[in-house]
Structure 1
């Protein structure tokens, strides 16, 4: 059954129109395969002037004549457009065009054909006549918008179902409700004004938001026009739902505002005819580049690029624009002022509803500062902070590259280690500021003395390295290094004083002396060490003899490692004597190596290797544990107030958990902390006073005693000396060599007086003569140790001496 759509009215009457061929404005026939008319509409009756009885069952040929014979109806007909003449009831022959098509969608009665009869130009029915027969009720009821008719009282006379759905109200409620109540209070006045304008002026339009009975909100675009229903003036109109459009507009406004307010520079270009021309830039872009939109609209953004630079990035951008894809690049551009800046650029295509790219959006960030910061970080990571020279990392990278080039058949090179001969003396005598000034001066001389593509590096301290690439030969290298040696040996003027640093040079040639970074650096280091042993201030090349020396050094290193594991080390204890009573009050633990292959190895041979390799840390831990074991044994024998001192290395002090490890060792051996004394050299403390102060404070809080060894040989700030929580200072043996000499005597007396003024104990080490002992007593030194009383003893002999009450004659 066909549907019967309705239009609502205030009187609840229904204007009903059946859905059939009758109301269509076009003349339509339906014929069977034989050409017999089986159905038609009213428009055909009006057009031809025949009544229903005259049409029914008649052959189509009775209504239409053609200039030639045609076959209209056959299964093969898809669609035919034919010209002919309609034979009207009043005798007129009306020119028409016939469209014949099978009713393929009519599955119940196949074999039927639709024939649409269209009068040709000048003979068509007037538009008003067609509208009279159009199914208006069905059309209005199914409009995709609200339809309404309002009288002058502001009430609805007619409406369609769309209005009921929008307002969430049944039709019965609508006639009695003022249309103003369908809107928010703040919009009601506007709605009334617009309706009145339609009554007075004939039409009006506006936007407003319907508010449904249950809160549903629908924004509509209203168009009103004045009309009459009978003698009743009224306004009719439509309301098109534009909620989605408003939401889109709001989104666009937000997006536009976001672009306008964005701190990132934004460009929008139009993609047309193979070009990308600027349509929009935001204020951030104008501020970043100095160009206004008015100046550059319609231009290609490439006008800002820096020609000849970042070519790879430009090629990537061109490729992305060609393929209409996204791209991210970092490149340099030029501001309006001519200033160059780094630009982090992201470009994305904009695709329309048809899937075509119409625009590109580019977001720019000025990353000039970050690029400069990255370069500074990179420079800091690869260069020495004091001198600006390459550091170890950069040196090894460049040496590796040079070795790789040599392995591919390129020329060899040379690596030279340079160690300043007098730097420690300068640093200790004149202070760290003077030492830094000397290092900077020597760095400058070395840098000026080599070629631009050679590398000068500082590895730390007073150790420099030269990487000389592609040298013409060993003789040329030797001449170059001799010139550099003379340059380093020239006096340095500092605060009116002339200082001479001097330098020992050790050189390794590659690939002759090695084909890896490690081997070449070891070879150059060995050559430099040999230059030191040859009297300093000379140049030595690596040789086979040096190779044997290095080999022995490596063997000694390996043997030392094994010796620590296998407990080949032993401690000797040199007694400390109270100069007032002659009683033994303590001892210094001195390590010795009893090697199965080498016999007794002195500390001067293996301690430097232990320091270089880091083996000093496990060796130092063993020494402390062994000293604690000796203290425990003495305590068990009734010895009280006895202190054993142990030398600490700088590496041990820098260990993160050294204090905690020491505390655990004291607990393990049940030793009172004040029975252990830790000795650190003056130079260790002053190398980094702030860090040393922190570590010493933690050790002092643990309860152990602290001593400054070799006092007077370094450069101490008295302000720091007052801050260090030490208990003892030890006079270096060099100041007791000839106490009869005025210089040594003055220094020794000064150290004793300084220590006592700071309320510190003073111990003299290396005492070997009666004259030295007398001098120390005369100047009230607290303790002494040395061969005059006793050499270092095994723990059993020390225990026997202490327990038997042996004293030194006072």
Structure 2
């Protein structure tokens, strides 16, 4: 500590310390040592007090009841201090053992303090205090300033803050230690201290080398002899100011958050009452801070709902742990909302949890949308019946129940007769109306516990549980056939549908889903061969039908080897420019005897037998050859899409083979697009995601075909590295009715795709109304008979050469 010669230290510091006299006595009560305060207070010298008994110095108020000094340990004793000049000072005496002192075993410390109101106003003991050392060790800066604004006295903390040596400080006016913009305020504060006796302020000390430190200064007026001065302290509050700034930022973040934030207090036994909620809480719940402050948040819970989640929250809070739960709460207006809630504890500096912070995310819309998607994933969009996914679940449960309880069930396959003729004659809208009517008739014909499903197209399936009497079952199925075959009136026109029905029994005809479905399918085909519009049960005689299936398998294997397969290319058109930007490769079978065989006949056989692998490799090779041929004539900005089967996607070396094919034809990977269906992805989503990730690394484009027909979770779609989604033709509808359910789904799929940064392609576009609808709702591309059927390679090349476009 540095000082200028301007009066003694006693004049600078006007302290009134408490005189604390301390004796040390042995077990017999003889004084062995003392401090100077003892000498000052009692007036004894060293020779006078040595070996004196404590009773000679202090007259206790209770000498008769306490005879041994040890009995006074930790007791509050009173008495009088007998001073050297004979007068007595009332004192309070505290005795503490000195057993921890190895040099004074068995000794005691005796602390003597004058009782309140009797101590003198000032003691000469001040000279015993190491004032210089105390000031130098203060946890703050200390200073004395004269009226000219120069330092007279300071400690090393001030030197450290200013980055100056002691000899430099007196040469500066103290206002120069601060930022220029603060100097006027500093001068004003110092003058206020001189005039009014004290002042305080916050400011940054600026060091010689630029270091800035924020201090809270307190100034008081005093004098050094006759010299008026201001002395004071400065407490470093840099960390506190930074913490305050951080708190302001975090408070603003909480205030502006779109998620509701609620802070509850659990300190001092509080029952997690609300202390703060942000505006988002008020918007989501309808409650203001004034309405909820002091209440436990559980007042919003919905009784008898999500009890398990409520227990998890209660247990976690009781354990002072974080927890996340999804549950329903009630808004102020009584409306129930879904709440994705995260609760975290907040601890004090001592580590004790005093508060909890809850973040509320209103996921009501997401839950409703997920349920809608869930319904779409398990139900046919056109008829509302169960789809293949739900059918397989229900059928497996029925087979397991029948096997466990030794009961019998039945599976019926229904295929409408000549449904293509209905579509061709009356139009697709009429065909859809027929399908919806038949679906309604099937629901009306079946019991609540039975399942009615539509597999797609004109195929329906019935799962009939616990039907022990075959005769009654036959009557039921016949009634179903008659109901389906009754005329359907559409826009005044009478349409006569018919149906061929095949029935298998379980567990007799099979103990697995696959076996039971194969048996019913075989029975249905047998019904068709017998003239249609009849019912047939599965029997051993139907093995002949299976034999025909084997013949088709053998023929397909030969067709792949002999080059009987051909590719057609259906153009894809950009709906904003009308330009042909790509094509989908569609395989056809040119049978030497039967002529053209549609893919819906031989592709299922290829899938079941594994022939889809060589067939798929051939298609990829042909498509790459076509891309190479187009590039040779200058057509390079063109993408060909190829359908990828589930078996191909699961092959380990498929990516390597595809890379070799692209390299062999010299085709850049981004010109090839692979289409996979939703059902393929959802069978094994994790495996599918890994396989698609490898294909994406190769550089090919990826798309989801038939989107909306088999999707079960929006979260999976976000994880698949796809470039585009294709709207299934079943969702396009007629394109004329604004309230049509198809249009609602189509709009939702387009919006969903764009929100996920994906291109959206509509397939099966056949009418100007559908085209107009897609353009109006910003669909990216289309393909379908409205623009062009599938073309051979030379036809596609000629179309691209002419730059044929869709009229705008």
Which residue is equivalent to 1:745?
none
- Alpha-carbon displacement from aligned partner over 1:353-394 (angstroms, at most 9, x marks no partner): 232222111101111221122222222222223323222122
The answer to whether the aligner puts 1:41 opposite 2:35 as a matched pair is: yes
- Alpha-carbon displacement from aligned partner over 1:135-182 (angstroms, at most 9, x marks no partner): 433322222112222222112222222222222222222222111111
The equivalences for 1:179-194 within 5 A come to 179-194=174-189
Which residue is equivalent to 1:8?
2
Which residue is equivalent to 1:613?
605
Displacement of 1:418? 0.7
Displacement of 1:128? 2.9
Which residue is equivalent to 2:287?
291
Which residue is equivalent to 1:453?
449
Which residue is equivalent to 2:230?
235
Which residue is equivalent to 1:383?
379
Q: Against the structure 1 CA distance between its residues 607 and 461, is the aligned structure 2 distance closer, same or farther, given a 3 Å change threshold? A: closer
The equivalences for 1:455-474 within 5 A come to 455-471=451-467, 473-474=469-470
Secondary structure in structure 1 of the residue aligned to 2:262: strand
Instruction: Measure the CA separation in 1 of the matches of 2:337 and 2:221.
Output: 65
Displacement of 1:293? 0.9
Q: Against the structure 1 CA distance between its residues 166 and 106, is the aligned structure 2 distance closer, same or farther, given a 3 Å change threshold? A: farther
Counterpart of 2:135 (choices 134, 140, 154) is 140
State the TM-score, normalized to the length of structure 2.
0.67
Counterpart of 1:27 (choices 21, 26, 31) is 21
Instruction: Measure the CA separation in 2 of the matches of 1:433 and 1:201.
Output: 95
Instruction: Measure the CA separation in 2 of the matches of 1:40 and 1:534.
Output: 125
Cα pair 2:192 2:199 within 8 Å, conserved? yes
Q: Against the structure 1 CA distance between its residues 8 and 446, is the aligned structure 2 distance closer, same or farther, given a 3 Å change threshold? A: same
Displacement of 1:206? 1.6
Displacement of 1:252? 1.3
Cα pair 2:28 2:69 within 8 Å, conserved? no
Secondary structure in structure 2 of the residue aligned to 1:91: coil
Q: Against the structure 1 CA distance between its residues 700 and 94, is the aligned structure 2 distance closer, same or farther, given a 3 Å change threshold? A: same
Q: Against the structure 1 CA distance between its residues 430 and 605, is the aligned structure 2 distance closer, same or farther, given a 3 Å change threshold? A: closer
Which residue is equivalent to 2:49?
55
Which residue is equivalent to 2:158?
163
Counterpart of 1:699 (choices 793, 797, 808) is 793
Q: Against the structure 1 CA distance between its residues 506 and 374, is the aligned structure 2 distance closer, same or farther, given a 3 Å change threshold? A: same
Displacement of 1:483? 2.6
Q: Against the structure 1 CA distance between its residues 235 and 703, is the aligned structure 2 distance closer, same or farther, given a 3 Å change threshold? A: closer
Which residue is equivalent to 2:496?
500
The answer to whether the aligner puts 1:195 opposite 2:190 as a matched pair is: yes
The equivalences for 1:225-374 within 5 A come to 225-271=220-266, 273=269, 275-374=271-370
Instruction: Measure the CA separation in 1 of the matches of 2:535 and 2:276.
Output: 69
Instruction: Measure the CA separation in 2 of the matches of 1:167 and 1:541.
Output: 101
Report how many residues are paired: 620
Cα pair 2:7 2:225 within 8 Å, conserved? no
Cα pair 2:19 2:113 within 8 Å, conserved? no
Secondary structure in structure 2 of the residue aligned to 1:355: coil
Which residue is equivalent to 1:433?
429
The equivalences for 1:715-726 within 5 A come to none
Counterpart of 2:521 (choices 522, 525, 533) is 525
Secondary structure in structure 1 of the residue aligned to 2:266: strand
Q: Against the structure 1 CA distance between its residues 88 and 444, is the aligned structure 2 distance closer, same or farther, given a 3 Å change threshold? A: same
Q: Against the structure 1 CA distance between its residues 348 and 606, is the aligned structure 2 distance closer, same or farther, given a 3 Å change threshold? A: closer
The answer to whether the aligner puts 1:424 opposite 2:420 as a matched pair is: yes
Counterpart of 2:475 (choices 475, 479, 503) is 479
Secondary structure in structure 2 of the residue aligned to 1:209: strand
Secondary structure in structure 1 of the residue aligned to 2:171: coil
Cα pair 1:400 1:517 within 8 Å, conserved? yes
Cα pair 1:31 1:112 within 8 Å, conserved? no
- Alpha-carbon displacement from aligned partner over 1:275-324 (angstroms, at most 9, x marks no partner): 22221110011111211111221222222222232222222222222222
Cα pair 1:98 1:118 within 8 Å, conserved? yes
Task: After superposing the two structures, state which structure 1 stretch, 481-490 or 245-254, moved more.
Answer: 481-490
Instruction: Measure the CA separation in 1 of the matches of 2:388 and 2:421.
Output: 25
Cα pair 1:80 1:101 within 8 Å, conserved? no
Cα pair 2:73 2:94 within 8 Å, conserved? no
Q: Against the structure 1 CA distance between its residues 274 and 449, is the aligned structure 2 distance closer, same or farther, given a 3 Å change threshold? A: farther
The answer to whether the aligner puts 1:392 opposite 2:486 as a matched pair is: no
State the TM-score, normalized to the length of structure 1.
0.67
Displacement of 1:132? 3.2
Instruction: Measure the CA separation in 2 of the matches of 1:54 and 1:354.
Output: 51
Displacement of 1:434? 2.9
Please identify the structure whose Cα radius of gyration is greater. Answer: 1
Q: Against the structure 1 CA distance between its residues 198 and 513, is the aligned structure 2 distance closer, same or farther, given a 3 Å change threshold? A: same
- Alpha-carbon displacement from aligned partner over 1:42-70 (angstroms, at most 9, x marks no partner): 32122212234423565656434662685
Instruction: Measure the CA separation in 1 of the matches of 2:591 and 2:9.
Output: 122
Which residue is equivalent to 1:212?
207
Secondary structure in structure 2 of the residue aligned to 1:220: strand
Counterpart of 1:88 (choices 83, 92, 108) is 83
Q: Against the structure 1 CA distance between its residues 524 and 63, is the aligned structure 2 distance closer, same or farther, given a 3 Å change threshold? A: same
Secondary structure in structure 1 of the residue aligned to 2:191: helix
Cα pair 1:150 1:157 within 8 Å, conserved? yes
Task: After superposing the two structures, state which structure 1 stretch, 358-367 or 406-415, moved more.
Answer: 406-415
Cα pair 1:456 1:464 within 8 Å, conserved? yes
Cα pair 1:183 1:209 within 8 Å, conserved? yes
Counterpart of 1:172 (choices 167, 171, 180) is 167
Instruction: Measure the CA separation in 1 of the matches of 2:508 and 2:452.
Output: 21
Displacement of 1:8? 2.2
Which residue is equivalent to 2:401?
405
Cα pair 1:617 1:652 within 8 Å, conserved? no
Instruction: Measure the CA separation in 2 of the matches of 1:294 and 1:539.
Output: 72
The equivalences for 1:594-743 within 5 A come to 610=602, 612-614=604-606, 690-691=783-784, 696-697=790-791, 699-700=793-794
Instruction: Measure the CA separation in 2 of the matches of 1:313 and 1:534.
Output: 59
Cα pair 1:290 1:337 within 8 Å, conserved? yes
Cα pair 1:64 1:87 within 8 Å, conserved? yes
Displacement of 1:223? 1.6
Displacement of 1:346? 0.7
Q: Against the structure 1 CA distance between its residues 336 and 514, is the aligned structure 2 distance closer, same or farther, given a 3 Å change threshold? A: same
Displacement of 1:80? 8.2
Cα pair 2:205 2:215 within 8 Å, conserved? yes
Cα pair 2:32 2:50 within 8 Å, conserved? yes
Q: Against the structure 1 CA distance between its residues 449 and 130, is the aligned structure 2 distance closer, same or farther, given a 3 Å change threshold? A: farther
The equivalences for 1:487-566 within 5 A come to 487-546=483-542, 548-553=543-548, 555-556=550-551
Instruction: Measure the CA separation in 1 of the matches of 2:595 and 2:517.
Output: 26
Q: Which runs of 5+ in 1 are unaligned?
A: 1-6, 18-22, 572-587, 593-601, 625-649, 666-685, 706-721, 725-810
RMSD over aligned Cα atoms: 4.4
Q: Which runs of 5+ in 2 are unaligned?
A: 12-16, 565-588, 620-641, 650-656, 666-762, 767-782
Secondary structure in structure 2 of the residue aligned to 1:175: helix
Q: Against the structure 1 CA distance between its residues 296 and 16, is the aligned structure 2 distance closer, same or farther, given a 3 Å change threshold? A: closer
Instruction: Measure the CA separation in 2 of the matches of 1:310 and 1:146.
Output: 60
Displacement of 1:114? 6.2
Instruction: Measure the CA separation in 2 of the matches of 1:173 and 1:197.
Output: 26
Q: Against the structure 1 CA distance between its residues 251 and 31, is the aligned structure 2 distance closer, same or farther, given a 3 Å change threshold? A: same
Which residue is equivalent to 2:715?
none
Cα pair 2:591 2:597 within 8 Å, conserved? no
